[in-house]
Amino acid sequence: MTGKLLNTLLRQATDRFPAPAMPAIRSALARLGAPSLAPLYETFNGGYFFGGALEIFPVGTSHYTEIESWNDAAGWRKDFDQDLDGVVFFAHDLFCFPYGVRGEAVVRLNHETGEIEPLAATLTLFLEQLLDECDYYSGQSLLEEWEEEHGPLPIGQRLFAKMPFVLGGDWETDNLWASEPLPVLAFRAFCAKHLKGKADGTRVSISLPNGKRLRGVLQR
């Protein structure tokens, strides 16, 4: 990974977390089985980028997305049917779609479907894609629109679709609400189980725990 890529990314930083010594970071990433992430943390320890839309998880802090805590197999991951073994998540976008590494490759989890999407063969290639299409990978423009209407998004919250995007929900501020991630991820995992194995174009009706129904047409 080139220093130029990291420097370009750092120019988009909104806030950065304090860093432990690099040996502690390397040890934590080794415990997770994600040594390929080490170059990302050479000059910073995670933070918020692109106006706060993209969050890169810190190592060894008390922040709610501290990378070892966030990847705890007994945490939110356990609710998804999708095989997440070997995936270490290191960031998420405005909509809490998490980015992870599986070996050297970078992937993304669509929490609305529970499906893993391959993005790039290496972290370096992913950073090039991120910087070339920062709005697509971060959600910055929708965050700016939402904050114009609602004020700053609180630290620790992400924006989620009221009507899931995968069921036809619009990528518009009217369809977005702010929440802490964990309760919503549990709900998304519940819905994803009902979408598993269904083809695009399928009409879906999911009976929710509150007695209501979620209806839409599946469109990945």
List beta partners, residue 120. Answer: 106
47-49/13-16 β-pairing: antiparallel
pLDDT at 2: 64
Domain layout of the chain by residue ranges:
3-135, 140-217
* pLDDT, tens digit (0-9, with 9 covering 90-100), for 204-219: 998 888 878 999 999 9
pLDDT of residue 165 exceeding 80, the answer is yes
Q: Encoding tokens for residue 137?
A: 């990978």
pLDDT tens for each residue of 48-77:
999 999 999 999 888 889 999 999 999 999
- The stretch 91-103 carries a mean pLDDT of 97
pLDDT at position 62, please? Answer: 81
Please check the confidence at residue 1 and state whether its pLDDT lies above 70.
no
Helix, strand, or coil (residue 216): strand
Per-residue buried b or exposed e for 29-51, using 16+ beta carbons within 10 Å of the residue's own CB: beebebebbbbbbeebbbbbbbb
**For all residues of the chain together, what is the average pLDDT?**
92
Which pLDDT score, from 0 to 100, does residue 40 have?
Answer: 92
CA gap 219, 162 in Å, rounded: 16
The CATH classification of domain 3-135, taken from the options 3.40.1580.10, 3.20.130.10, 3.20.20.10, 1.20.140.10: 3.40.1580.10
d(CA 30, CA 111): 26
Report pLDDT for 140: 97
d(CA 29, CA 185): 24
Tens digits of residue pLDDT in 99-158: 999 999 999 999 999 999 999 999 999 999 999 999 999 999 999 999 999 999 999 999
Q: Take residue 48 and report the two structure tokens written for it.
A: 């918020």
